[in-house]
Amino acid sequence: MNHFIEISQLSKPEVMALLKSALSLKNGSICPQYPAIPLATLFYENSTRTRISFDLAAKRLGMPVVNVDIATSSEAKGESIIDTVKTLAAMGIKCFVIRHKEAGLPIKLAKTCGEGIHVINAGDGMHAHPTQAMLDFMTIMEQKPDLSSLKIAILGDIRHSRVANSLQCLAATLNVGELSLVAPEQWQPTVVHYGTVTDSLRDGLAGADVIICLRVQSERFSTGDTLDLTSYRKAYALTKTTLAYAKKEAMVMHPGPINRSVEIDDEVADGPQSYILQQVQNGVFMRMAILSHLISGSDSLA
Ligand code: CP
C-alpha cells in the first residue's frame, strides 16, 4: 500500500490488518515513531475532524507536521496543486493528506508524485472519504464484531455523500449482512455499490443494528436542486420516535458535522445509543494505523 485513495484498493485482509493495528494503537500496545517522515495537510475544503485528527495522529507517531494554509500559499498567485505538492516534496515532505472538491484529484496527484511519497485522500468531492469509512467500521466492530449478522442503515443525503460511497464499498468488502440505503428519491444514490435503496424510513430502519445518519449537504446541491428542510425533517429525521423503528440497542452514528434538529435530534445525537464521539476518538487511531501501514507496512505492526 503506497497511497490511500479509496476503499476498492484494499483487500479484506488489508482492511482487517488496519483495524487490528488501530485497536493496538488505541490500547497502547504499539506506538511506532517516524521522526524522519514529515507530513503535510492540504485542505481546500473546510474540516474539523479529519484535518485535526490527522494532525494529532501524525504527531503521536513522532512525525513533523505542516498544515498548509491554502489561502496564504502561492496557489493564490496561480501555482497549481501539482506544483505545490512537488515543491513540498522537494523540501522533504513524504506524506500528503489532501481534501479537495475535485473527485479524482488524489489519484491524479499520486500518479504524479515520485517514489517514496504517500498521498492520502481526506475527501474528494462527492467521490470518496475512505478514512471516515474505516473509522466508522472500527467503531461498529468494537461493539458488534460479527458483521455478517448485522443490518446497517445509512440514512439521509446519500447522493451527495462521499462517506456513503466509501461505506458501501467497505460494507461489500467486509460482507455486511444487510445494508439499507434510506433516502428520499432526490437524494438516492445514482450508483449503488452495495445495499438496497428504499424511500421508506420505517422499512429501512426496521431491525437495524446500526444507523449511520448523514448530513444534509446543501453546499453540494446543483442549481435546480430543491431543499425543503421542513418536509425532509418530517419524513426522514432521526428522532426518538423514528429511532424506535430500529432494534432496541441500535447504534447511532453520524460522520459529522451534524445539522442538529435537521437530520437528527439532540436527544438522539447525545443519547445513550449515540457513538458519534467514539467515532471521532477512533478517527485518531485509525489514521495512525493508516499512516503506519503506508510508511512501514503491516508486518512491522504485527
Ligand atoms: N466527517 C468529516 O469529514 O468531518 P470534517 O469535515 O470535520 O473533517
Averaged over 154-179, what is the pLDDT? 97
Q: What is the pLDDT of residue 181?
A: 98
CA of 47 to the centre of ligand 1 (A): 5
Tens of pLDDT, residue by residue over 190-234, are 999 999 999 999 999 999 999 999 999 877 676 666 668 888 999
257 lines ligand 1 (CB under 6 A): yes
CA of 221 to the centre of ligand 1 (A): 18
Domains of the chain: 7-129+282-296 (3.40.50.1370), 130-279 (3.40.50.1370)
For the chain, the C-alpha Rg in angstroms (whole number) is 19
Residue 68 grid cell: 498548509
Closest CA to 238 of 274, 278, 292, 289: 274
217 lines ligand 1 (CB under 6 A): no
Tens of pLDDT, residue by residue over 271-281, are 999 999 999 99
Q: Is this structure's pTM higher than 0.85?
A: yes
DSSP 301: G
Q: What 3-state DSSP class applies to 97?
A: strand
CA of 48 to the centre of ligand 1 (A): 6
Alpha carbons within 13 A on the beta-carbon side of 136: 31
- Distance between CA atoms of residues 210 and 108, nearest Å: 35
Q: Which atom of ligand 1 is nearest to the CA of 129?
A: 3
Q: What is the pLDDT of residue 219?
A: 73
Tens of pLDDT, residue by residue over 37-89, are 999 999 999 999 999 999 999 999 999 999 999 999 999 899 999 999 999 99
CA of 122 to the centre of ligand 1 (A): 9
Q: Which atom of ligand 1 is nearest to the CA of 99?
A: 8
Query: Taking a C-beta distance cutoff of 8 angstroms, is the pair 10, 82 a contact?
Result: no
DSSP 256: S
